[in-house]
Amino acid sequence: MANPASAPTATHTVRGACPHDCPDTCALDVTVSEGRVLKVAGAADHPPTAGVLCTKVAFYPERIYHPERLLHPARRIGAKGPGARFERISWDEALATIADRFRRIAAADGAEAIVPYSYAGNSGMLGYASMDRRFFHRLGASQLDRTICASAGAMGYRATIGASVGFDAENVVDARLIILWGTNSVVSNLHFWRLAQEAKRRGARLIAIDPCRTTTADKCDQHIALLPGTDSALALGLMHVLIRDDLLDHDYLARYTLGFEALKQRVLEYPPQRVAAICGISTQEIENLAHAYGSTRPAAIRTNYGINRSAGGGMALRSVACLPALTGAWRDAAGGVLLSSSGNYPVDTAALERPDLMPTPAPRTVNMSTIGHELLRAQPPIKALFVYNSNPLAVAPQSAEVERGLARNDLFTVVHDLFQTDTADYADLLLPATSHMEQLDIHKSYGHLHLQVNLPAIVPLAEALPNTELFRRLARQMGFSEACFADSDEDLCRQAFDWSDPRLAGLSWERLKAEGHARLNLPLGEAPFAAGGFPTPSGKCEFFSEMLASAGLDPLPTFIEPHEWRQSPLAAQFPLALITPPARNFLNTSFANSPRFLAQEKSPALHIHPVDAAARGIANDNPLRIHNQRGEFRARAVVSDRIRPGVAMATSIWWRKLSPDGRNCNEVTSQALTEMGGGATFYDCLVEVERVV
């Protein structure tokens, strides 16, 4: 690989890959001149990207050269919190300070008092989990359970299907029915939407299931606006009708499923009338959807992780995942269900992360979704927090507790980021991070089946370092002598996958580096699971799951009420169910400090139905106070029938420091967890809304 420092000064193009937490994982063509990124375009020769980018990434140079980029290590001077001031220091001083504090904490309190906090701010294999995990494993720090997005749904889906696999998105153009369940594809899965649109042009019917009439729902043939947290009930109601009316593939059930008779008894408990009352929709909508699904081939369900953010989130994905096996939809290449494609990649996690470096017994595990609670109440106490690839003060639930925890004078906090985020205001040390265009990485996807390389387009700005080099240097500073801490980024790319796996037949790191991207060696146009059955213990789609039973969970699909159920006593005080999906121009808190996108979003907004608005004397653009027992935040009113009655929607996630009142929607979200996977329950939240006079 050519070093970008020695790259020609003439205008040239570098192969890249988008590292942000999005299923599309676009291949990029980065135009560079005289060491500066001029333009970013989607790679036309990459089938999933097909030359198209979302607006956020199309303007990526503005992010790289943002005037507030962190460029040098810095130490806080003065108090923690909003308005915190920092003074520049050298990397040597920063690394020495971290190593000294870590040694002293480990000696006094044990290394478990040190906690890493990271997620998918960079989703590359190296940037997400490689040298950093090696460092914290060797240190003996607490492990982090990374549950904030997908853990519940992934567990429920895995209990049914066996792995994070499903239909090949490239085949969906041949579907005759596409159900977009809990996914606003136009905003958060643009390239799947392009394929769905092609299917529609060929005659497919598109149905959106979402509490809000999203941009995606606008473009579908039908929209079903169920209540948040009721997706599993709807799936059970559909199963009831499919079984009652014999819209089944009996041969498929006999050969490829486990537990059908038990499932049949369970769904008797969910007739359409009961389900309609739970979901807040009509009985006829359930009947019609079930008949459309049971009588159309190929039929594809594209779902996403929004439906796993309530108390029964794992069961929601599990219940949806049962549907294709009832009708035999898996027989078709364009049929079945897709939550994530990430399980198709032969990742060598042990080689990348080296869990063998951990002490025995293994250190404790801290759940990232309850970091507010943990910072205030963990025993033994957390004495150091190392934040990278995340912004927990803005993104974690019940942020008032997170803020109180970060404000502790005895907590040593390090933040490695591109910008001085809300979390960074509470740091003792700020460390400058590279953008992905300044580093090497290798990528899988959770929305398609292509492997991609990200070559550094430019040298790192000023003193910015990638995660890999930061933790390589920290390991040296701590005196860790294991050979793995000397691995280069190219070494890590070679270690990231099992290149001998048949799915990578004919591929190598060298070929990928030269070509930029390549599809896994999986046949295009083949029905899912056609060759070897399901990757479950039984080899079948498991309606009855021994895995769940052994974990003390219901082995059959069921409906679990939200923690904050609209039929509970709490609803008398806080009657509106709040959901907080992404704003079109933000991706979690990434891009949320861009002047361009801030201007387009204007200010934090709360969407509320005209009936609910009228009952509260609320009109468009009124300033609102949204509150519950945990806290409050402010937003402007958007009165619209796009959101169903009884539900409010706050587009997210705003930086607190860029919000009118210094707060965001996570002031009111809960640290309560899902029934499986320990996941966050962001969409399980009752609030009241009032006009600010």
Residues 563-569: what's their mean pLDDT? 95
Per-residue b or e along 50-72, where b marks 16 or more CB atoms closer than 10 Å to that residue's CB: eebbbebbebbbebbeeeebbeb
What confidence tens digit (pLDDT) does each residue in 116-173 have? 999 999 999 999 999 999 999 999 999 999 999 999 999 999 999 999 999 999 999 9
Q: What is the mean pLDDT of the chain?
A: 97
Three-state DSSP at 92 gives helix
What pairs with residue 576 in β-bridges? 687
Three-state DSSP at 209 gives strand
Q: What's residue 116's pLDDT?
A: 98
567 token code pair: 């039929």
pLDDT above 70 covers what percent of the chain?
99
Three-state DSSP at 230 gives coil
Q: Does residue 4 carry a pLDDT above 60?
A: no
The residues, any chain, with a CB within 8 Å of residue 352's CB and separated by 6 or more, are 125, 129, 130, 133, 492, 495, 496
Contact 644, 687 (CB under 8 A): no
> How far is residue 133's CA from residue 114's CA, in Å, rounded to a whole number?
13
The residues, any chain, with a CB within 8 Å of residue 149's CB and separated by 6 or more, are 21, 119, 120, 305, 679, 680
Neighbours of 201 (CB within 10 A): 9
Q: Please give the helix or strand (H or E) that residue 303 lies within, else none.
A: strand 299-303
Contact 349, 80 (CB under 8 A): no
Closest to 506 in 3D by CA, of 492, 520, 490: 520
What confidence tens digit (pLDDT) does each residue in 44-94 have? 999 999 999 999 999 999 999 999 999 999 999 999 999 999 999 999 999
Q: What's residue 1's pLDDT?
A: 35
Q: How does residue 678 score in pLDDT terms, banded at 50, 70 and 90? A: very high
Q: Does residue 355 carry a pLDDT above 90?
A: yes
